[in-house]
Every structure is written in structure tokens, then in C-alpha cells.
Amino acid sequence: MVFSSVVFFCYFLPVMILGYYALPKKLKNIWLLLGSLFFYAWGEPVYIFIMLASIAGNYIFGLLIHFFAFKEGVGPGDGSAVPFGEAKRDHRTVPRSHSLKKITLVVTVLYNLGILFYFKYFNLFMETLNRISSKEISWVNVALPIGISFYTFQGMSYVIDVYRGDGLTDRSGNRTVLVQKNPIDLALYISMFPQLIAGPIVRYTDIKDSLKDRNTDLGTFCTGAERFIIGLAKKAILANSIGEVADKIFAADLGHMEPSVAWAGAICYTLQIFFDFSGYSDMAIGLGRIFGFKFLENFNYPYISKSITEFWRRWHISLSSWFRDYLYIPLGGNRRGNVYFNLLVVFVATGLWHGAAWSFLIWGLWHGLFMLAERFFNKNKESSVFARIPSVIKWLYTMLVVVFGWILFKLEDVPKALSYIGAMFGAGAHGYTEFSARFYLDNKMIVILIAAIAACVPWAEVLPRRIGSRVAEFNHAGPGSTACVVRRILLICLLLLSMLFIVNSTYNPFIYFRF
């Protein structure tokens, strides 16, 4: 089930909202959990058991780490539990084994990565093994469950956070308890339908308190609804319309493709993947607000970046921060080991996370190598060569790297991707060309492309201060103001237009579902 579908918007979502607001507080999490399981099972019922196994495993491992972190019992005079790290200060307490706690964490990581490897990478592993082996090995093709990378990373981050923080004390001497002993609440955290199958990757620590107590008043509902409508419009109007053109161009004969067509296809896919994924993230964030949860932002206008380093601060922020906190920093980050090696490992992992194909690994390395180069040439930011390059040149360089990278992302066949890039520079047309770019870009599509490009820019920030402040005021006008009324009328029109596009089109993919 996808958000931009009639089934979701006209049936599933209204039932979920009505049930949620009608039920008492103690039943709200159960309702959301049941709805989330139904939402996931709608597309592929069998694979719900894989997600349930992931939830159960992380729940048990979290409890074990909590058990090994400290011993409940008599503390220093107040009857409280004693943190593992402070147990030696009191002879009346016996700490649990720290080594068992660490072993449990290792087993947890292997458990999660094992599930991810089998269902996502086993086919690639066997195909590669057969290519390099003299003997053909037969195997059963393993289907990829939707959203497995997202919910696996959420479950793994939960247990790692419990390992890092559970049982420690803050500056006030209060003990931190991160472990979730309620299986329903943990299951809801991992399986919550707004972010279940395409992110953003939500940290347990960000919504831990909201799982127990959250605000669901009219203000948060309206804020969430507005954000959902904006995301729906991004997906239904922009991503779907532009994506149809991108698919037609990428499926055309490269041997008779003129450069303008190849560039049009690359630009269309660049816009499609952004509005597809950021639209989904907007809808997820909006739905989270409707049900009282506050998810962190996942995109921050990445196509205005002036370096690949900046691009990854703005693109898929939840994934970038996940790899930073759970891979880059544990490897040593900027302080230990070779920072270039650490960054390269992160981008290898980033590429493979996106898909089980060597083109994704190359895509990750492509971005990683440019980030390494930027770091090397920008050691001294004020006097570096990079700092003296005009902003427009830096933006152009960044977008070229990103666009070429997306071609590898779109075409998993690396030789074909290289041929497509060659067609962009005139290597594709031999003798005659089949169509010009104008054949694919009619007047309606040109208008949509202009709107999409305009939507990539934070106008409130780039316009002159006086005009930009007016735009910001309009976007954040409070209830009852004229600007708020006008904004909501425009949003209703946008909603109706989005529904019109959905009803009249059969093209409605979500690119990140396969990750």
C-alpha cells in the first residue's frame, strides 16, 4: 500500500484517524500497531513474519543488555538500581558481567545484519560467487521484503542505544533507562506505518517519550495534515509526471539518442528521485504529527548544495546521521585511525545499503571519492583552493557529480550507465536520432519541470530579506490570520489537484520501496 493511492487515502487513513482519536489513551498504541501490521501485510503478507522476527529479536536482546548493564538491588542508601559503571563504588552491590553485555550487542548486530544479508544480498553473493567459481552453484532466488533496510536499521539502532546509555546516570544522578520493556511500544516504534517502508529512519531516543505520552490536539493535526498534503503533491504531481518521461527516455535506444534527450532524461530522473523520496518523507512526517509523533527532517533542499559534503548534510539526513553515529564515529571518525579510510567505508556501506547490485557500490564510491577529495583540498578552509572557487561553479560541479551518480542509480547495468553518460556528450547518436527532447517535453511537462526546479529552492532564504521574510511569515502564519486562511485554501486546491493526478494516472512507483 502506498500513500499516494486511493485505497490508502480514501479508506485506510480515515479509518486509522477515526479509530485513533475515538479510542482511549491506553488503546491508541495498540490501534496504531494493528494498523501498521495490516498496512505492511497489505502488499506482501508472508514477509510480515520477517519484520516480527526482527522486532522480537531486538526486544529480547535489548532486555538482555539491560539485564547485564546493572543489577537491581540495594544502592547507596536509597534503594535505587546501581549503574554498571558505578557498581564498584558500593560493596553492597554486585555488577553484572560487562563482557556478556558486549557479547550480546555483537550477537544483536550479527542477527540484524544476518537477516538483512539473506533477504537483500544473498542473491548478489551467489551470483558473484558463481562468476568467480569454476563450478556452478545452484540456489533458490530470495525475494526482497519491502522496507527491510529501514526497519532493520531502526531495530539495530535501538539496541545499540540501549547498550550505550542504559543504566548510566546523568549529571543530576538520575539513572537512564532506555530499554523498552513493553513489547507493544517497541513493536510500534519499529513498525509504525508512516515511516515503515521508506523512512525516514527514526531513532528510538527521538520518540521514546512520545510512545508513552504525546499531544494530539487540533493544532498538531492541522500541522501534520498540511505537511502530508505538500508531500502528496510532490509525489503525485511532480515525481510521477516527471518519472514517466524519465522512464521513457532511459528505455530508448542509446544508439540513436541525441545529447539533449539524454540530458533531459538525466535531469528528469534527478528531479523524480528527489520529489519521490522527499515527498514520501514529508507525508511520513505529516502522518507522524497527526498521531502525535515528531519525526526529524530528512531533506533540506539538497540541490542547492555547493559541495558533495554539503549535499550529504542535506540529502537523506536520517541515513547520513545513522552511518555517522553508528559506523563512522565507532571506526574512529575524525579523531582515530585514517579519516579517509573511515569515510570510504561509510560510503561503501551507503552504496550497498541502497541496493544489492554492484552499481550501487560504485555509486557510493563515486560520492565517497569526491567527498575525500573535498576534504583533502579543503583542509584549511579559508586559504584552500576550493574556497576561492565562485559559488556558481561549485554548485555546477556538485550537480554534475550528483546527476552522473543518479544514472548509475537508475541503470543497475554499469556498462549501460556508462553508455548513457556517453550519449549525453554525443557518443550515442550514430547516423540519425530518433527523437528530439521536445518530443518528450510537451508544454504541460515544461510547466511541471519549471515548478519542480522552483520547488528545489528555499525562496524564503534566497530572496531579498524583506521579500523572504514575507514568504516565511506566509508559510508560518498562525490560525485565524488572513495568510493562514489563504494558505489552507491553496493547500485544499493542491490536495484536490493531487487526487486528480492520482486517479487519472496508473504510474505510481515509490523508488525507495526496494531499499
- Which sequence positions are flagged as catalytic? 354
State how far the Cα of 181 lies from the Cα of 184, in Å rounded to an integer. Answer: 9
- 3-state class (DSSP) for residue 103: helix
d(CA 508, CA 488): 26
How far is the C-alpha of 298 from the C-alpha of 296, rounded, in Å? 6
Q: 282: Cβ–Cβ under 8 A, 6 or more apart, which residues?
A: 227, 228, 230, 231, 234
Phi and psi at 169, nearest 5°, equal: -115, 145
* Cα 142 from Cα 70, distance rounded (Å): 41
Q: Which H or E run includes 264?
A: helix 259-290
**DSSP 3-state of 43:** helix
> What does the block give as the cell for 488?
489552507
413-418 long-range contacts (CB < 8 A, ≥24 apart) are: 413/359, 414/358, 414/359, 414/362, 416/254, 417/359
With a CB cutoff of 8 Å and minimum separation 6, the contacts of 380 are none
DSSP per-residue letters across 10-35? IIIHHHHHHHHHHS-HHHHHHHHHHH
Distance CA 367, CA 311 (A): 10
Q: Which residues contact 447 (CB under 8 A, 6 or more apart)?
A: none
> Between the CA of residue 431 and those of 250, 254, 258, 265, 325, what are the distances in Å?
20, 12, 11, 21, 53
